[in-house]
Structures are given as structure tokens and as C-alpha cells.
Amino acid sequence: MRKTLKRYLPNRDSVHSNRWLRPFANTLLHPRLWHLNRHSAAGAVAVGLFCGLIPGPVQMPIAAIACVVFRVNLPLALLTTLYTNPLTIVPLYVVAYAMGTWAMRVPDRTFVPPPEMSDMDLVEWGGAVVDWMAGLGKPLALGLVVLAATLSLLGYFGVKAVWRTWLIRSWEHRRMRRRRNP
């Protein structure tokens, strides 16, 4: 599984050669941030899923800081934050709002649908979405934390389980090959 993931993730040399990241080279080039095993991959997916729900353009910098703190795979965490995008953010926020109203035991309020983008450009629509989110208030804020933590835990244990299954199947295939070719 490691070989498959390494094909798609950037390597240390790309960070080392980037002039914007050179001041942070000592921190960002730590070997544990680039090592890929089931523990670092599971932690990276958990960090990426949690930080992906942070509003605004600070998802990746905060994910990078969390990777440095927890010493998990940096490229995989940054890649995982991309699950939130203009197509998925509204459904995720609707789910977060529902989770927040459930957690706060707020009586069911009428949900205000998000603004339509049909007659607005991207910047106007972005501002309208921010106003829409602010109007949802505390249930949305709590729901985002609950949803982020839930996704993070599911991602962590899911990666651990998938990696373990992959490993066991690899062992079985190797054992079968050895039996056929003594």
C-alpha cells in the first residue's frame, strides 16, 4: 500500500527546492513527516479530515502545523483536506448543523437553504455563503466540531483497518507463492 500512496504524494525534494518553504526547511523536512506507514497514514488522514472542516483558506496551514505537532505524514494530510470543496461544503455544513442542533438539544428550527449561485459571481456567492453560515450560529459551530471529530476518528480507524487488511492479504499471497515455489 505504501508504494501505491508514494506514487501520488510529493517528496521531500520538492519541499527542499521550493523557495517559499526554505525558511521552514528544518521543521518541514523532519523524516517522520515524510515517512509513510500505517500509523503515520492513519494520523495524517485524521488530521486532514479534521482540518478540512475548518472554515476559510487556513485549512492546509493548520493541517501542516498539526502534522508537525503530531509527527504524521504531511503530504497525505494536506491531500486529505481537499475533500471539502465548493461542491461538498454545503452538504457537509447541513450535516454539521443537524448534528449541532441534535447535540445542543435545540428544538428543530426551520432550516434556511444556502444562497443560489445563479445570478452571482463567485466572490458575491462566497460572501453570501459566509453570511448564511453566520446566521446559523452556535449549532453550526458545535456541529462542525462534532462532525470533524467523527470524520477524523472514522478516518483514523478506517485507514488502520484497510492497511491491516492489505497487509494480511499480502502475507497470504506471499505464503501461497512460497508453497508453490519451494
Nearest Cα to 60, choosing from 31, 83, 35, 87?
83
Residues of the chain with pLDDT under 70: 1-12, 15-16, 20-29, 108-112, 182
In this structure, are residues 115 and 129 in contact, taking their beta carbons and an 8 Å threshold?
A: yes
pLDDT at 22: 67
Residue 136: per-residue pLDDT: 73
pLDDT on residue 152: 97
pLDDT tens by residue, 21-63? 666 666 666 778 888 889 999 999 999 999 999 887 899 999 9
Long-range contacts from 3-11, C-beta under 8 angstroms, 24+ separation: 5/36, 5/41, 5/76, 6/36, 8/79, 9/36, 9/73, 9/75, 9/76, 9/79, 10/75
Which has the closest alpha carbon to 48: 169, 179, 159? 159
Q: Which residue segment(s) compose the domain that 151 sits in?
A: 2-180
What pLDDT is attached to residue 165? Answer: 95
pLDDT of residue 149: 97
d(CA 135, CA 112) in angstroms, rounded, equals 9
Could you give the CA distance from residue 175 to residue 143 in angstroms, rounded to a whole number? 47
Is-above-0.85 flag for pTM?
Answer: no
- Give the model's pLDDT for residue 110: 62
Q: CA-to-CA distance for 164 and 25, rounded, in angstroms? A: 33
Q: Please, is 85 exposed, middle or buried when counting C-beta atoms within 10 Å of its C-beta (0-12, 13-18, 19+)?
A: exposed
Give the pLDDT score at 56. 76
Q: Residue 33: its pLDDT value, please? A: 81
Identify the pLDDT of residue 148. 96
5 phi and psi angles, rounded to 5 deg: -70, -40
pLDDT at 105: 83
What's the total number of domains in the chain? 1
Please say whether the beta carbons of 34 and 78 come within 8 A: no
Strand ranges in the chain using DSSP code E only, listed in sequence order: none
| Res 159: pLDDT | 96
pLDDT of amino acid 150: 97
DSSP for 2-54, please give it.
HHHHHHHS--HHHHHT-TTTGGGHHHHT-GGGT--SHHHHHHHHHHHHHHTTS
